[in-house]
Amino acid sequence: MDSNKWKILVTEKVGEVGLDIFRNAPDAELDIKIGLTEEELTKIMPNYDGVLTRSGTTMDEKKIEAGRKLKVIGRAGVGVDNIDLAAASRRGIIVINAPSGNTLAAAELTMANMLAVIRRVPQACASLHGGKWERNKFLGRQLSNRRLLIIGLGRIGSEISKRAHAFDMEVIAYDPYIPQKKADSLHVELVDDLEGAISLADVVTIHTPLTEETTNMIDEETLRAFKQGAYLINCARGGIVEEAAVARAVRDGRLAGFATDVYASEPLSHDHPFLAEDIADRIVITPHIGANTVEAQSEVSRIAAQNMLLVLRGEPYVHAVNLPFMEQALNADQRMYLSLARKLGVLAAKLAQIRGAAAHNCHVTLRGALFADDERLAANQLRPYTIALLKGMLEVSIGSSVTYMIAPLLAKDRHISIDESSGDSKTYKNTIEVELETEKGPVSLLATITEEGRQRVVRVNDYWVDFVPSGKLLIFQNHDRPGVIGKIGSLLGAANVNIASFALGRKEGSGLALGALEIDGETDEALRSELMKNGDMIWVTTVDFSNAS
């Protein structure tokens, strides 16, 4: 192997289009090794900068740790259940998938399975192959005028809605992470009560990722909500439905039929509930072929290979599964607020340090039109601004090594719970508000960006102030009495520290004030102690925003 080229390992059969991209790249060297054992794969991992897989290769923590040179893992497909995302993120390894490559293939298989189960096509075909002519036995139903519930209105769910409308179906959808205007554009009624929607649907089809929230989402209890004689389709991910419970629902007649392409464990064991003979006439099962079209396999391999090379070359790429967002996809205003959120994280952490208590909860509220269209792509995915805030907050204690990728994981390690909310902004056009809960009380901040494009912090705890989070800031709480500002200025001047700007907030009736000074010069512990002693300060801290962007 040429030591000056990126070494790429392909562990499974993928589309030739993707392989040709690697073969034709002057800075890449391709190595195809299919059918390796776990031990063999782990042993050779140190040789490679990138690995391209499909669903049959498990990239667990052991293999990822063995890949000392590894920079990117590509998945020629959508699901990344076989890749330990947390382990990859902690190593700074980008995980790439190809979410759009098989969208149409998966949507078309869903419709095929829907028609197959409702018209009992496989059973009729098997009967004919068995030498029988049983027209009256295979009485089916029509999709026309039936109510379809789509659980998960993402890329595939959206394509399903279009095709269902072509069959004259009434389409409703459940997806708490999709804005109303997207549902409106698809002419789909968005519902917020899953079990209530299930009780109204003639056909239910699932199109969500497998997460903690969606694991066994369709369980015994949920199945009781189904309309008698309804149909269930799962061409999304195994593990979303409780398989034994679904088999019982078909057996009992609560479900008229069930079709699936995915399973909790693949391949199926001989005693799998879906292989029971007494329900075979009402179940349609396929061996995870959702992406198995010539077109889809070519496209997913192309997308994965192209983006893997872009990662290795340090060029802009897309479809990074473990990057919480793509910064280059944000517009100028969004990037300004992203920068502001990171600075708020730095400031919040510094103020928490004054209390001498670690944060245990971080609540972020985003208000205004800028955030209204901020669509999260999957359940449990934090918004970019929250992640930027976490990054800034953790940089104070850990350092600049904290990345957007690892910040949520580090917060989880420190048992910091995170929640988000949104709403309308009244006083300002758009605002970011953070409340950091500690054992010794909360730290709260409110910030905005003016029409002139200036970042402003407008509230610190109970004090309304107005200062720009830039450069070096001296932030303090002081006794609100005459002469304090003069004392502070004199002490800083004696230390050769110049004041570039000054902001003060007062809380009526408290006898206290809060100040923020942008300064030129260095402060040390001795100067801060002097300010505390002779500047009537209750506390003081320095926040350096020089490297925050």
Q: Report the sign of the C-alpha dihedral through residues 392, 396, 397, 403, in that order.
A: positive
Catalytic (active site) residue 237: yes
d(CA 460, CA 443): 8
Contact 319, 99 (CB under 8 A): yes
Catalytic residue (one of 54, 288, 367, 528):
288
Gap between the Cα atoms of 304 and 96, Å rounded: 6
288 is catalytic: yes
Angle, vertex CA 178, rays to CA 175 and CA 179, nearest 5:
135
Quote the DSSP letter at residue 195: H
Residues constituting the chain: 549
Name the CA dihedral angle for 15, 16, 21, 24, rounded to a multiple of 10 degrees: 170
Active site residue 266: yes
Of the candidates 379, 472, 385, the one whose C-alpha atom is nearest the C-alpha of residue 434 is 385
Q: Which residues contact residue 541 at a Cβ distance below 8 angstroms, ignoring those fewer than 6 apart?
A: 350, 351, 353, 354, 474, 475, 476, 528
Alpha-carbon distance values, 185 to 40, 181, 189 (Å): 50, 6, 10
Closest CA to 198 of 229, 162, 225: 225
Element (H or E) spanning 506, and its range? strand 498-507
d(CA 451, CA 429): 9
Q: How far, in Å, CA of 466 to CA of 106, rounded?
A: 52
Dihedral (Cα; 326, 330, 336, 337), 10-degree rounding: -80
What three-state secondary structure class fits 486? helix
CB-count exposure of residue 539 (10 Å: 0-12, 13-18, 19+) = middle
Degrees, nearest 5: CA angle 236-17-81: 30
HEC secondary structure over 404-443: CCCHHHHHHHCCCEEEEEEECCCCCCEEEEEEEEECCEEE
Longest dimension (CA), the chain: 103
Considering the candidates 90, 237, 319, 459, report the single residue annotated as catalytic: 237
Reference 524, options 547, 546, 501, 541; nearest CA is 541
Q: ω into residue 442 within 30 of 0, thus cis?
A: no
Out of 38, 134, 195, 266, the active site residue is: 266
The b/e string for 445-475 (b: 16+ C-beta within 10 A; e otherwise) is bbbbbeeeeebbbbbbbebebebbbeebbbb
Active site residues per annotation:
237, 266, 288
